[in-house]
Structure 1
Amino acid sequence: MKRAIAAALAAASLTAAASAGAAVTRDDFLVRNTASLVSLCSVQPQDPMAVQALHFCHGYVAGVADQYQAMGAPRPGEPPPYCLPEPRPSRSQAVEMFLAWAKANPAEAKAEAVDSLFRFARATWPCKR
């Protein structure tokens, strides 16, 4: 029961941040969970920290993507963790795709943002075996 309530609250907070454009807080920049990253990446232009939030979002996503790609295949002969399509999506397109994925997966709200980005990339761009 407690898990169901926690999941519902997490879903509500993620959905509220993504759709209502909740104001970014300084705490969001600590990226303690996926909801914080969603808040930064879905910042509204009128937010006083909009420029900083959007730049931070793009830098965070790009850094995680670079690190994840650099990891490569875990064992020889296995495919890489994910395979970007050609042409590759722009960073802005990838962020929008992540936001849509996060909205469709509200249980991710309390997960570590880096883990959610990994799950997003694997689900969105699986490699053919």
Structure 2
Amino acid sequence: MKGIKRFNMKGKLAPRYIGPFKVLERKGEVAYQLELLESLSGIHDVFHVSQLKKCLRVPEEQIPLEELNVKEDLTYKEYPVKILEIPERVTRSKVIRMCKVQWNRYSEEEATWEREEDLKAEYPQLFEATSSKSQG
């Protein structure tokens, strides 16, 4: 199940792009030095061009970087925003309810499938919100 993430982790919910950051200078043929926030001081500030993405958005439309609470050990907490679907998977001996979950800072296309019992154990408030919607 998803939870604490590290910048160097690979996987569906590994951070892809954060920013934008100002380019300070070009380092060699394919590397750039960026001006990072103080909270990201534990991260090396020179990146290969393949790790960068051109900023095409207006700065006012972007999520404030202060919302990305990176700890000193370069971890951050992810939490589910909403449940998109709850189908049942039937095996020979039991029925397993799965939830398609949208996580913070990720779109609905990047939602993951999690077991309902695991989600209820860690995020019970998520089910209180969905049950109140279905009753009202």
Q: Which is richer in strand?
A: 2
Larger CA Rg, structure 1 vs 2: 2
TM-score tier, shorter chain, comes to: under 0.3
TM-score by length of 1: 0.26
More helix by share: 1
Q: TM-score, normalised by structure 2?
A: 0.25
* Higher relative contact order (CA closer than 8 Å, sequence separation 6+): 1
